[in-house]
Amino acid sequence: MSDDRPDQPPSDEPAEEPRQPSAEQPELERPEGEHRPQWRQTLAILLSNRAAAVGLVVLIVMVLTAVFADQLIRFPINEDNIANRFAPPSADHWFGTDDLGRDVYSRVVMGARVSLQVAAISVTISLVAGTLLGLIAGYRGGWLDTVTMRAVDVAFAFPAVLLAIALVAVFGPSLRNTMIAIGIVFTPIFARVVRGSVLSVREDLYIRAIRSLGASDGRIILRHVLPNVAAPVIVQTSLSLAFAILLEAALSFVGAGVQRPTPAWGLMLADAQRFIAQGWWLSVFPGMAIFVTVMAFNLMGDGLRDALDPRQRTLIEARGAGGGEDE
């Protein structure tokens, strides 16, 4: 060693240290602070946002309503009772009765099951298909990306409702075809969101670092790209569920969706418009059900956007955990 070189800075690590597993190693380091699993932090941030918390509670109530609809209804949903048509809300018929004398409350409750089911299944279709397309297009790039994104652009050129109606017209109106049509209409949204995120994640240094270990593309996509694009996908899912309920209502409204006598909210609203004069309750209750549910999904989507953003997380941690603002 030549002595005209700058001195090495002092180190607090002994240069020669016997490394035995049993040897005491007081210098082993741990990060400071208490360890909390990531999902708990996300939940804590989500719930600290009051609007998102309200949305979450409403959605839980809605889901429970859908699941236990059979127990919650007070009358058979499709039993006509002409003698008792247009009965206003009462102790017996909480939401009144409709033009055929059916109990509106029971139909709204059962409608939760139909609407949520349509929303869940159609969004699942678009989530899976869109994510797959977006992943491949974004990760592979090249002509595959060009072709996929052209198709997406074409799909975006049509208003969602028109596209869905056109698809139902081709497939024929039924509950199943409504779900497929909505699923197809939403697929490009997911494809675009996923592709955009993949494009940025793909360039992240850790992807290169993992490739440098010898990881295959499959492993990189499944274990590293996918988890890192999950946040925008989850947000998009929540917002799409809201939009799916609206779209299903719109389709049913124009007769291209769920068919009578299935109690879908949109269909009930469509049928009620002819009887606005006979009873406000016919339209107000299904309308409110749609409004509240859509609102809840939107509020939660916004809350998730913040809660899943790692920058937000460190911000809140820096503030000493807790007080998320409703922005």
Residue ranges in 158-264 assigned as alpha helix (H): 160-171, 175-202, 205-212, 217-220, 226-253
What is the three-state SS of 43-109? HHHHHHCHHHHHHHHHHHHHHHHHHCHHHHCCCCCCCCCHHHCCCCCCCCCCCCECCCCCEHHHHHH
Please, what is the minimum distance in Å from the beta carbon of residue 315 to other proteins? Answer: 12
Q: Which of residues 270-299 bind other proteins (CB under 8 A)?
A: none
Task: With contacts defined by CB under 8 A, name the span among 3-11, 150-158, 171-179, 289-297 that binds other proteins.
Answer: 3-11
Could you say which of 18, 24, 30, 157 contacts other proteins (CB under 8 A)? 30
**320 touching other proteins, by CB under 8 A:** no
Please, what is the minimum distance in Å from the beta carbon of residue 206 to other proteins? Answer: 5
Give the pair of three-digit tokens for residue 120: 């869940």
Site string for other proteins, 222-251 (x = CB under 8 A): -xx--xx-----------------------
Could you say which of 18, 24, 33, 218 contacts other proteins (CB under 8 A)? 33
**318 touching other proteins, by CB under 8 A:** no
Task: With contacts defined by CB under 8 A, name the span among 14-22, 84-92, 142-150, 188-196 that binds other proteins.
Answer: 14-22
Residue 276, C-beta contacts closer than 8 angstroms, at least 6 positions apart = 282, 283
Could you say which of 43, 209, 254, 276 contacts other proteins (CB under 8 A)? 209
Instruction: Report the residue number, 1 or 83, with the smaller CB distance to other proteins.
Output: 1
Residue 190, C-beta contacts closer than 8 angstroms, at least 6 positions apart = 126, 127, 129, 130, 131, 133, 134, 233, 236, 240
Residue 111 to residue 293: CA distance in whole angstroms? 12
φ and ψ at residue 214, rounded to 5 degrees:
105, 15
Binding site for other proteins (CB under 8 A): 1-2, 4-13, 15, 17, 19, 21, 25, 27-33, 35, 38, 204-206, 208-216, 219, 223-224, 227-228, 310, 313-314
